[in-house]
C-alpha cells in the first residue's frame, strides 16, 4: 500500500525551476508541507505562490547549494520553521557552456561540482541527525544519465559530479539503513528544463517536446516518496522513449 504523505515535510533544493519546482508542487498536492531552497529568492517565491495556490504550505529558505555555510543556514531555517524533514529532494544542479576539457575553467569546475555534488552532500549531512532522531527518512537525489554513462555532451565536470552523486546515495543506504533512512538516486536522460539554455548547441523546440518533461520527474519523485518505509528503491535510470543517445545521426 502506498503511504499517505499528508502533513509530512519535504525539503526540496533547486525548487525555483525545473525538476525541483515540479517536485515541490507534486509533493505539496500530495499533502506535504514543503520547504524550498535555491539561489534565487524571487524564483523560490514564485514556486511558493504556486504551492499556496494549490492549497499547500511553503517555506522559502534561499541558499547557494555550493556553499556549506549557506546550506546549513537554510536547513536551520527549515528545521526551525517546520520542525522535521521526512523527505529531502536534492534537485539543485547546473552546468556551464564551456564544459569540454579544452574549455572548462577552474571556476567552472567549482561551480558544477559545487552544485551537483557538494550541495547534495551538505544537505544530506544536515538532515541526517533529525532523520535519525525521527527513526527514518527518505533522501532523493536527481543525478543524470551522465551519472551512469560518461558523455561529451555534458562535459567531464558534470559527468564526474553526477557519478559521484550515485556513489553518495548508495553510501547513505549502506550506513543509514539501520536508522530507517533510505536513499534513491534518479538518473534521468534528457529533460526539458532551463538547464538546456546552457547547451553549447541550441536544442530545438521539437527536440524539447520529445524529451522527458519536468512533470514526468515530479511523478517519479512522488512514486518513490509514497512507497512504504520498508521499501528502498536504490536507483532509477529513466529516459525518453525518443532517446537521442540511441539514434544514429544525432549529434549530442
Residues 6+ apart with CB under 8 A from 134: 84, 86
Sheet holding 58-60, edge to edge: 58-60, 33-37, 9-13, 87-90, 137-142, 181-188, 235-238
The DSSP 8-state label assigned to residue 67 in this structure reads -
The three state secondary structure string of 161-228 is HHHHHHHHHHHHHHHHHHHCEEEEEEEECCECCHHHHHCCCCCCHHHHHHCECHHHHHHHHHHHHHCC
Dig out the grid coordinates for 75 from the structure: 536547513
Count of H-run helices and E-run strands, the chain: 8, 7
What amino acid positions are annotated as catalytic residues?
158
What angle, rounded to 10 degrees, do the helices at 41-53 and 18-29 form?
Answer: 30
Amino acid at each position: 500500500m502506498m503511504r499517505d504523505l499528508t502533513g509530512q515535510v519535504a525539503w526540496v533544493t533547486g525548487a525555483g525551476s525545473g525538476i525541483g519546482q515540479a517536485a515541490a508542487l507534486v509533493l505539496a498536492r500530495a499533502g506535504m508541507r514543503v520547504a524550498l531552497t535555491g539561489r534565487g529568492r524571487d524564483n523560490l517565491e514564485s514556486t511558493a505562490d504556486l504551492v499556496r495556490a494549490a492549497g499547500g504550505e511553503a517555506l522559502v529558505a534561499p541558499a547557494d547549494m555550493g556553499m556549506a555555510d549557506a546550506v546549513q543556514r537554510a536547513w536551520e531555517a527549515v528545521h526551525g520553521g517546520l520542525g522535521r524533514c521526512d523527505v529531502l529532494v536534492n534537485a539543485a544542479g547546473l552546468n556551464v557552456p564551456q564544459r569540454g576539457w579544452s574549455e572548462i575553467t577552474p571556476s567552472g569546475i567549482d561551480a558544477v561540482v559545487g552544485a551537483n555534488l557538494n550541495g547534495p552532500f551538505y544537505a544530506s549531512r544536515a538532515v541526517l541527525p533529525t532523520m535519525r532522531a525521527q527513526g527514518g527518512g527518505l533522501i532523493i537525489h536527481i543525478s543524470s544519465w551522465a551519472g551512469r554513462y560518461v558523455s561529451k555532451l555534458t562535459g567531464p565536470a558534470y559527468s564526474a559530479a553526477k557519478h559521484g552523486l550515485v556513489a553518495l546515495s548508495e553510501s547513505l543506504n549502506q550506513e543509514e539503513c539501520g536508522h530507517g533512512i533510505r536513499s534513491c538516486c534518479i538518473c534521468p536522460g534528457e529533460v526539458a528544463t532551463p538547464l538546456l539554455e546552457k547547451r553549447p548547441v541550441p536544442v530545438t523546440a521539437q527536440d524539447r517536446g520529445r524529451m522527458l518533461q519536468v512533470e514526468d520527474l515530479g511523478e517519479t519523485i512522488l512514486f518513490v516518496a509514497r512507497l512504504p518505509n520498508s521499501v528502498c528503491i536504490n536507483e532509477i535510470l529513466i529516459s525518453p522513449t525518443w532517446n537521442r543517445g540511441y539514434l544514429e545521426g544525432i549529434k549530442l
